[in-house]
Amino acid sequence: MGDHEQSGAPLEGGAGPEPGMPGPVLRARAVGIDTFQEHVAYLHRACPVYRAEGFEALNKVEIRSGGRRILAVLNMVDSDSLIEPGELGLSSEAFRRLRARDGDAVEIAHAEAPASMPALRRKIRGERLDRADFEALVRDIAGYRYSKLELAAFVVATSQFELDRDEIVDLTEAMTAAGRRLEWHERPVVDKHCIGGIPGNRTSMLVVPIVAAHGMLMPKTSSRAITSPAGTADTMAVLAEVDLSIGRMSEIVRGLRGCLAWGGHAGLSPADDVLISVERPLQLDSPPQMVASILSKKLAAGSTHLVLDIPVGPSAKVRSMAEAQRLRRLFEYVASRLNLVLDVVVSDGRQPIGRGIGPVLEARDVMQVLDGNPRAPADLRNKALRLAGRVLEFDPDVRGGDGFALARDILDSGRALAKMNEIIEAQGRRVPPAPASLVHEVLASSDGVVCRLHNLRLATIARLAGAPKIPVAGVDLFCRLGDRVAKGQPLYRIHASIAADLAFARRMAIQDPGIGLGRPEDVPKAYVEG
């Protein structure tokens, strides 16, 4: 594997005075505040620099130290308990990217406006942008040259004034080019991705060992959860180390044909990580942003072929087949323009996949499927086989329609389990802990048929219980759509390791358990392709 760096890396360069021009010198101080993908600096109001330079709260400043520079949003401090007048406090992200040490001399100066600010203002007005505009915008976003307020304006503008198809192509290309791009020097390099919104949907942890056991190259880099109770990286971290360097990941993939790693160190499409930090709190996930986010990450990872899972259901991101088909056509257009072979699968998103919601519980489900355990969730197994089969059909030696049976043979023979164990050993095996011991069971309030399993509600209850930050927390489901239950029968069990977390989750479950009971005819029909 090879890779190369593109311009616009967030640690180097930026607007402001020419390199070498001195500014006021202060002492760096790590204040230990997590500002999540934003550089924030803290200046004491009694500091002589404050009045001499005319700084104000929310100014953007340039900070230099040891030949490196970053841009940050300035906050003013009135208490000596955080920093002293001669110090410049730095948030955790700013301190890390500046590679500073406590007490290092740092220079601070006013930052010039990002060069792409005119393009940002035009998009806020609803105007169309060209490729050069998007390239400039993405460079400045990846370079942390915008504040969260300015980024929020961009995200809202691209959501309100929806990008046309060619704008999405330009944005995707710009996001791909702004960071590292991996080269594997072979075809096909395959991947599988779900647009999200379905708890427990850990099919990637089954698809990767099945496909790798067949011999196809599948270097899977996944994200950690931000607003969900578990991401693939969170769940894999229960079983093995996922924080891998590019070099180590390359060795594993070359030797075993696959991996399941966290993508945080890869530097793939870095502007996407910055934009996500704004989109998620706003709960904005417009189709253009979704397409550019997903495809830029896959292209940067060196993928040539992708199976894309679009779940459809009453509480999924996509609520109707018509909406799914519009999204499918958009993905297909952009992928074809960027020479990415794409196969879209529309799947059943009416309810969570598997039983567990939360890293440890989801890892249990995955290993049960790989082990052939009779208690393994059948829906997780079947969906993983369907998706793995579609990936295997990218192999020119596999006939169309034969992928499912081939995937099933690899799983049932134990080859997938053996491959998963090889990957786990290579990445660094961990012993999975037991689910959290503080529990509360949510009981059926009446007799009836399960006709509603609300994805977001159940995910929120699992998060309140502590997942994913506490991997042993979460929700263990005991029922599926169409099941007949009796009054007092357990519907699911909440696991928590902190009493307060259990109380929060229990309170939400009392308000609305996320499971509805009714008659058989009330069960929503599945929107699934054949």
| DSSP string across 119-167 | HHHHHHTT----HHHHHHHHHHHHTT-S-HHHHHHHHHHHHHTTPPHHH
Whose tokens are 């479950």? That residue is 509
Helix, strand, coil % in the chain, rounded to nearest 5: 40, 20, 40
Strands of the sheet containing 305-312, edge to edge, are: 190-194, 305-312, 341-348
- Phi then psi dihedrals of residue 437, to 5 deg: -85, -20
CA-CA distance, 365 to 368, in Å (whole number)?
5
Identify the CA nearest to 207 among candidates 354, 449, 403, 452: 403
CA-CA distance, 129 to 168, in Å (whole number)?
10
Whose tokens are 């996949």? That residue is 353
SS3 label, residue 236? helix
| CA atoms lying within 13 Å on the CB side of residue 405 | 5
Q: 96-113 in b/e burial notation, b at 16+ Cβ within 10 A? A: ebbebeeebebbbbbbee
Task: Report the predicted TM-score, pTM, of the whole model to 2 decimal places.
Answer: 0.89
The residue type of 407 is: A
- Phi then psi dihedrals of residue 520, to 5 deg: -55, -35
Determine the angle formed by the axes of helices 204-214 and 232-239, rounding to 10 degrees. 70
Whose tokens are 């930052």? That residue is 111
Element (H, E) at 467: none
> 112 and 146 in contact (C-beta within 8 Å)?
no
CA 65 to chain centroid, in Å, comes to 31
Position 283 scores a pLDDT of 76
Position 529 scores a pLDDT of 58
Position 396 scores a pLDDT of 96
Identify the CA nearest to 450 among candidates 522, 517, 512: 517
Spell out the SS3 assignment of 60-102: EEEEEECCEEEEEEEEEECCCCCCCCCEEEECHHHHHHHCCCC
CA-CA distance, 16 to 333, in Å (whole number)?
39
Each residue's pLDDT expressed in tens, for the chain with a length of 530 residues: 444 333 333 333 333 334 444 568 999 999 999 988 889 999 999 999 988 888 999 999 999 999 999 999 999 999 989 999 999 999 999 999 999 999 999 999 999 999 999 999 999 999 999 999 999 999 999 988 998 889 999 999 998 888 999 999 999 999 999 988 999 999 999 999 999 999 999 999 999 999 999 999 999 998 887 778 999 999 999 999 999 998 999 999 999 999 999 987 677 888 988 898 888 778 777 899 999 999 999 999 999 999 999 999 999 999 999 999 999 999 999 999 999 999 999 999 999 999 999 999 999 999 999 999 999 999 999 999 999 999 999 999 999 999 999 999 999 999 999 999 999 999 999 999 999 999 999 999 999 999 999 999 999 999 999 999 999 999 999 999 999 999 999 999 999 999 999 999 999 999 999 999 999 999 999 876 54
SS3 label, residue 182? strand
The residue type of 221 is: T
What amino acid positions are annotated as catalytic residues?
285
CA-CA distance, 210 to 414, in Å (whole number)?
10
Structure tokens at 62: 């340039």
Position 446 scores a pLDDT of 97
Identify the CA nearest to 140 among candidates 151, 155, 131, 130: 151
Identify the CA nearest to 382 among candidates 397, 369, 391, 393: 369
